[in-house]
Chain A
Amino acid sequence: MLLIPCPHCGLREESEFTYGGPCRDLPALDGQSDAGTWSQAFHMGKNPRGPLRELWYHSSGCEAWIEVTRDTASHEIIPGGQT
């Protein structure tokens, strides 16, 4: 069971959260990026065996979307990774 540090509610069990997946940096909405660039940004990579910056939604709590950096191999939550 993961204990996820919510900046508003403190340490809470993973069952209170909904997973939002890895944080993705998307291209600017200026019409300058082609379909391949968007597909790359949406689909590829972001599957490290190690620290991963990801989104969690505190659905059964304060309902905030939070950013957490978690090690996918050890499940350790890296301090300072959440905002």
Chain B
Amino acid sequence: MGYSAFSILGHALTANKHWQAAVGTPEMRTSYDVVIIGGGGHGLATAYYLAQEHGITNVAVLEAGWIGGGNTARNTTIVRSDYLLNSSFRLKDFALRLWADLSRDLNFNLMYEPRGYVDLAHSDGELEHFTLRANAMRLGGAEASILTGDALQERVPELDMASPKRFPIAGALVQEAGGVVRHDAVAWGFARKASQAGIHVFQNCPVTGIEVRGGKLQAIETPKGRIACGKALISVAGASTQVAALAGLELPLNSVNVQAFVTEPVKPALDTVVNYNAGYSYVSQTSKGEFVLGGATDGYSSFARRGSFERIEDVLARALQMFPFLSRLRLMRHWSGIADIPMDGNAILGPTPVEGLMINAGWGYAGFKATPAVGHQMAALLATGQLPELLQPFAYERFALGAEQDDAGAGPYPWLH
């Protein structure tokens, strides 16, 4: 049944006793056309588009934990497409266009709010580089502007530009189409629609083996049984190394810890998303009133999902440089997630050396914003066998070919991306 104001009213009149589960609990079959390993936003979006765009519904999604328990619900909900390289920009800008209509398509309120993304530069040199990036975005057909001085102060009145700083604010790149999307609604919305289309979503179902014979995918093994399949997608973020190893694949990436924080809720004070670039601290205010803060990775390999105090101090110190009034708020919650970051800081998408096995890995802490675009393109790859143009630059082979897609120019050091 669809969600609407009438359905809420109807259920209210019957004391909310008749709501149906949003995601079914099906019996597992012994074979599927496609198995998607990983029930995060990306995996579920792929399932949704397989059904929606290609009519393929004999699909299983295997989630080791629960829907909305992984990195999809651990990020800071920011969506934007302000990337320098054409390859990065085009995929994320496609996602940004999909976000705009997705609530209606999914019949699920994702609370997409294009409230603008403000990326602060701290020197004239950095601002020059931001101008280059803004121009690249404009050439790609997106809107972006560079604001300085009074114009920037007017755009973000709460921003403290006056008091002396170790890293003064020289200006900002502003993308008005950027903003926030309620992250766990994305996982639930895709899961519900995929489930309604007849796709089987299994929670608490880790993958224990990937059967490969003669270089060809045969089956996926789970505690619930063996699933024969010709095609599968690994889409498991922080666990990519371990899951790919089940198929004998090595990946060029390191997993690191990324932390995020939420303050107590207060009245509306900030209506945009602001990022401090000298060390990273990105701040926005939720519709409930909490300030959400995030920063760079902890800076070294980690599967701990437990953050370093040094990074907490870093992120908060930078947030206070922008918004001194935050010093009077308390942090309510703090969490972290495992981000898998490749040697060039960009995702690994497409076929692997194992025939039939596709990969979607290495999004690091930048994957949320790309969710619908990745799902859309991966579904096309799984359905047609043709690698879509948008995914081609992100091939698994690019590291051996020297065709890295390094937006930051940081080199083969995942912990610095």
Contact = CB atoms under 8 A, between A and B. Distances in A.
Interface in B363-412: 399-400, 402, 412
Given A1-B310, A19-B415, A43-B343, A73 B252 contact: no
Interface of A: 1-2, 13-15, 19, 21-22, 35-36, 39-40, 42-49, 52, 54, 72-75
B399 A54 contact: no
B303 interface: yes
A1 B308 CA distance: 5
Contact of A44 (B251, B255, B299, B402): B251
Contacts of A43: 252, 343, 399-400, 412
B413 interface: yes
A47 B255 contact: yes
Contacts of B242: 49
27 contacts: A1-B309, A1-B310, A14-B300, A19-B300, A21-B254, A21-B301, A21-B415, A22-B301, A35-B400, A40-B250, A40-B400, A42-B412, A43-B343, A45-B250, A45-B251, A46-B254, A47-B253, A47-B255, A47-B301, A49-B241, A49-B255, A54-B300, A72-B302, A72-B303, A72-B304, A74-B304, A75-B304
A36 B299 contact: no
B253 A21 contact: no
A44 B252 contact: yes
A76 B344 CA distance: 28
A75 B300 CA distance: 11
Nearest to A44: B250
Contacts of B414: 21
Contacts of B343: 42-43
